[in-house]
Structure 1
């Protein structure tokens, strides 16, 4: 009888151990998301959250992380409130309270710069679509930038515009105005625009920064109108971009606009100004194309924002790296992100066809492209390729 009891006890212990192992293997893998869900960047943050949620659902519905026993991804969201100091604080709390395997965010480059300082000290991988060059130029080992840098975008913003003008057979642009938000991203991109324009022989007749969150855009609009530039190069949050464009149109100013990403890429930009968006050029690190974009459109009635798409790609990168490492260790994940080349899933729709991080955490495969607002949609127009469409130059369609 005693032997039987010992035997049954051993079976029970084995059963409990096996059950505990199954439960542990299926525990969710926690990923932090630090994005602006309030403040002037909130609309962009909401679009990002929607996109990540779709990507997570797709991954989990396909079985989660199979090498970890089918563990589902679980996103922990934190609101950076569009403020750098808040961004750093929420990331610190997120790491202390949730110990995520990775973090993604934080949209605004200044917020990301502050937040990644915290995650780096804790050796937690932080993946971002923020543009600023400064984010990856600090010698960090746990920061990954999936998009082209602001300086490369600024350079392409000018060069692509000049190439489009040449393609259209238009007289060369001689002078430009440059308006930019006084942030890490804004300054990096604007400095590159100015440098590239001057190297090409263009005269920069206005180079003006402003504090994001404009209450009144009239003084800035007056400066733009008075400059009489042949083209306006601008980057701004969605709320500021709407105020500036409305102000220009109200004064009858028809200066061609070449935007540098940011708010000009959001679906809500078109919702706010409608037909006034027609023909605006926008340099962008990516556009949402493929099945994921159609899935988003079916659910929300509009296209997925570039930032939402890039964060969906980031979510897939984390899942793919976790699958390979078979580990919940942030360090193992960081090593895999540096070692792997990502060309499957939605990474294949990034400009350049994929993601490969170098030692700095820069994506060496990607570059920015030029898009244009046409009939309420952002369409890719340059450089020419299988996905590009005809573009509008002074109202004329150019094939």
Structure 2
């Protein structure tokens, strides 16, 4: 099927964790709120029946923001930011604890609602999916606008939450498009729209261009936007960034992406990773890396449980400040989907990795997957690990 015939959607729930919490606490609607606190930050019932909410003003600790409402984002708060730093920017922002059980419940709801209308789905995590709309009757007439609107309405009815959808000929463009009109957006783009809608965006908006690559593009090539990247000579990008990544940069800037939507039946591994806003040192920035590393392991465990899978092999992925990528894996005696067991195995992998350079990306991966149902793994003796 040619790109012109494909209609791929990317659906992204709007400020998902925060939006779920606002359903529980509607009195916070329109206020700056961040999610990322611990149990001690539960709202406290007052004698008059109201609730007293914790704020960032009194926060002390090493936690990071999991997500922020759009009102909080207006103050510069965003996911991955340390809560202490956020407190300096917006001390009156409400702080709520994370509740992953509730988020997973809403995740299952919205995905089931989408599957009723469009069953070819690639699960990309708790709050986003790709959907292949190409075979749905009538989709070519309006490039997917009607079915995308119907999906948005079905998700709203099933969860009470809004989502944003981008529909384009491929996954790369659809992920970009779903961000253009947030929140509650519906964006249809075709190849002819790339120059006007995509090229003016910062190059870093392309999924796969992190802060370090964006900085190198600007410093070494004077490239700031996707359009400027598209205009760059392919041989220059290959010379500076290597054959594989340089060729990919050129193709991505032109909106080219041949990847298919992969359904969960084809899953052979599951991973979670994050690219840092600034390079972090594994030892000197341990206070920042520790909660990020733990959260990635927890999210990976949640993904496995949602797929009803367990993993025999756990691995880590490190990308250093010079773009070198290193992986380490550990095979477990018994398959698991438990966050503590994944965290321990990933910690063991870290002990076998050089950690003297700064890191720009950290990831965890589960492979050697099998259906859930094996006994839980034995608990090994507690050992200290680098991010403990």
The structure whose Rg is larger is 1
TM-score by length of 1: 0.24
TM-score by length of 2: 0.25
- Of Structure 1 and Structure 2, the greater strand share is in 2
User: Which protein has greater RCO, CA pairs closer than 8 Å, 6+ apart?
Assistant: 1
